[in-house]
Amino acid sequence: MKDRGGFRPVAWTGRAVMWIFLLATAVLTLFPVLMTVFGSLKSNAELMSGTGLLPESWRFHNYAEAWKQTKFATYTWNSVFLAVTVTIGNLLVASMGAYVVDRREFRGKALYVGMLASTMFISVGAVVLRPQFDLMVKLHLNTTLWGVALILIAAHSSTFFILLSFFKSIPRELDEAAMIDGSSFTRSFFTIILPLLTPGLGVAGLFAFRQAWNEFILPLVFTMTNPKLQTLTVGLANLRYGSSAAMQIHLMMAGACLSILPMLLVYMAANKSFMQVTAGSVKG
């Protein structure tokens, strides 16, 4: 339906509904973040009393206090070590596995892919904590973060399927041409195929880093006897109660804001990969 002036009520209504939906989504997404940021600048009493969104007095020293009480430097290093190790190991193991599955035919291939897929949809949670811990005890890795890193690297199914979809977009003719030139299967992967997989590695790496950075249960279990190895997620939980056994929500919020910064930096570094993936999909 179109009137004399070219006005289309149906199109205008659809666009208005779309903008209302987008604005509502943005508000629901950003509001908890704003509450955390502003709450980190309030006093604990002000937070407990349930005042307005903006703080009555801006207490920037909450960040310094949270840094001091949480041993932020030590916990940040532990989190960075765990997240970087898991990300590199995850990408290496998953990319090699996805390359073999995509390029080779072997007995049990469907079973292997099916087992990886089942781990994505079946969550056993705390049920496997005891077997995992016992296994790390046998390997003498129960008192280090390497045990946590190995367990998280083993849970690489989501990274595997992300990279598998990227491998399917790389022509097989490149492998065949490399083999004709005398390149081995392994050399072709590392020198030819892997550089072409950079956008996929960036996307998968971001998700792997986020998972390792936010992991709580495993670092908590493995660092109970060694607090110096605790990660930021565990350290922030320790801020819940202070020396006077009173809840310190303002310090927890300040610590949460500080812990978000590394994730923002990683996202900014991987943002180019997201843009390349989006541009490639539109162009294709």
Q: What is the per-residue pLDDT for 196?
A: 86
Across the range 166-173, mean pLDDT stands at: 86
Backbone φ and ψ for 167, nearest 5 degrees, come out as -60, -35
Residue 94's pLDDT band (boundaries 50, 70, 90)?
Answer: very high
Q: Which residues pair with 139 in a beta bridge?
A: none
CB 1 within 8 A of CB 8: yes
- 107-111, 235-239, 252-256: range with highest mean pLDDT: 107-111
Q: What is the per-residue pLDDT for 91?
A: 93
CB 239 within 8 A of CB 252: yes
Q: What is the per-residue pLDDT for 280?
A: 44
User: Does pLDDT of 267 surpass 70?
Assistant: yes
User: Does pLDDT of 185 surpass 50?
Assistant: yes
Mean of per-residue pLDDT scores for the chain: 81
Across the range 160-189, mean pLDDT stands at: 86
Residue 147 DSSP one-character state: H
Q: What is the per-residue pLDDT for 9?
A: 65
Q: What is the per-residue pLDDT for 283?
A: 44
The three-class DSSP label of residue 241 is strand
119-153 pLDDT per residue, tens: 777 666 667 788 888 888 898 888 889 999 999 99
Domains and CATH numbers, the chain: 71-238 (1.10.3720.10)
Residue 281's pLDDT band (boundaries 50, 70, 90)?
Answer: very low
Q: What is the per-residue pLDDT for 88?
A: 94
CB 163 within 8 A of CB 95: yes
The three-class DSSP label of residue 247 is strand
Residue 83's pLDDT band (boundaries 50, 70, 90)?
Answer: very high
21-39 pLDDT per residue, tens: 989 888 888 888 888 888 8
Among left, alpha and beta (phi > 0; psi -120 to 50; other), residue 171 is beta
Q: What is the per-residue pLDDT for 96?
A: 92
What is the pTM assigned to this prediction? 0.79
The size of the chain, in residues, is 284
58-82 pLDDT per residue, tens: 888 888 887 877 778 888 899 999 9
Residue 284's pLDDT band (boundaries 50, 70, 90)?
Answer: very low
Report the distance separating Cα 76 and Cα 233, nearest Å. Answer: 9
Residue 240's pLDDT band (boundaries 50, 70, 90)?
Answer: low
The mean-pLDDT minimum among 11-15, 102-106, 142-146, 245-249 falls in: 245-249
Q: Is the dihedral of CA 164, 170, 174, 176 positive or negative?
A: positive
User: Does pLDDT of 3 surpass 70?
Assistant: no
